[in-house]
């Protein structure tokens, strides 16, 4: 059973455009939702994270929108650049309940073309 569903699987965006990646979760006990960026041959790097007590969090060009009632959250990349081309993973966990691991989505391969 996949607890975090991520879409789309791949995404092509023009330079300067907005990239949007969506995730839906099932476990209402999740209380921490990070997004990771991974370049080929590298480990994932934390991009931005949100807790369910806020509906939006913005850091630079990256914004997480969170809809608790719908159990959905999304990553928006504004002014997308070729350097943003990577695989993005959403994740969820409930760390305050103990040493629980991240549950990852299947990833979205983003290509930003000039």
Partner 1 sequence: GAVVSQHPSRVICKSGTSVKIECRSLDFQATTMFWYRQFPKQSLMLMATSNEGSKATYEQGVEKDKFLINHASLTLSTLTVTSAHPEDSSFYICSARAPKGGSRTDTQYFGPGTRLTVL
**For partner 1, the closer CB: 66 or 89:** 89
Q: Report residue 32 CA to chain centroid gap.
A: 12
How far is the C-alpha of 96 from the C-alpha of 77, rounded, in Å? 28
Cβ 16 to partner 1, closest distance in Å?
27
CA atoms within 13 A on the CB side of 67: 10
Size of the site for partner 1 (CB under 8 A): 22
**For partner 1, the closer CB: 17 or 49:** 49
Cβ 78 to partner 1, closest distance in Å?
21
DSSP string, 89-103: EEEEB-GGGSSPPPE
Is residue 109 involved in binding partner 1 (CB under 8 A)? yes
Considering only residues 15 to 74 of the shown chain, the ones binding partner 1 according to CB under 8 A are: 32, 34, 36, 41-46, 49
Q: Whose CA is closest to 50, among 27, 38, 70, 68?
A: 68
Is residue 99 involved in binding partner 1 (CB under 8 A)? yes
SS3 76: strand
Is residue 3 involved in binding partner 1 (CB under 8 A)? no
């Amino acid at each position: 059973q996949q607890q975090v569903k991520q879409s789309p699987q791949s995404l092509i965006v023009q330079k300067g455009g907005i990239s949007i990646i969506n995730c839906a979760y099932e476990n209402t006990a999740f209380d921490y939702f990070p997004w990771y960026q991974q370049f080929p041959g590298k480990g994932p790097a934390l991009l931005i994270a949100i807790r369910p007590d806020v509906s939006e969090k913005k850091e630079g060009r990256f914004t997480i929108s969170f809809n608790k009632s719908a159990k959905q959250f999304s990553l928006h990349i504004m002014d997308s650049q070729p350097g943003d081309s990577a695989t993005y993973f959403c994740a969820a966990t409930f760390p305050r309940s103990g040493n629980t691991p991240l549950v990852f989505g299947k990833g979205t391969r983003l290509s930003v073309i000039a």
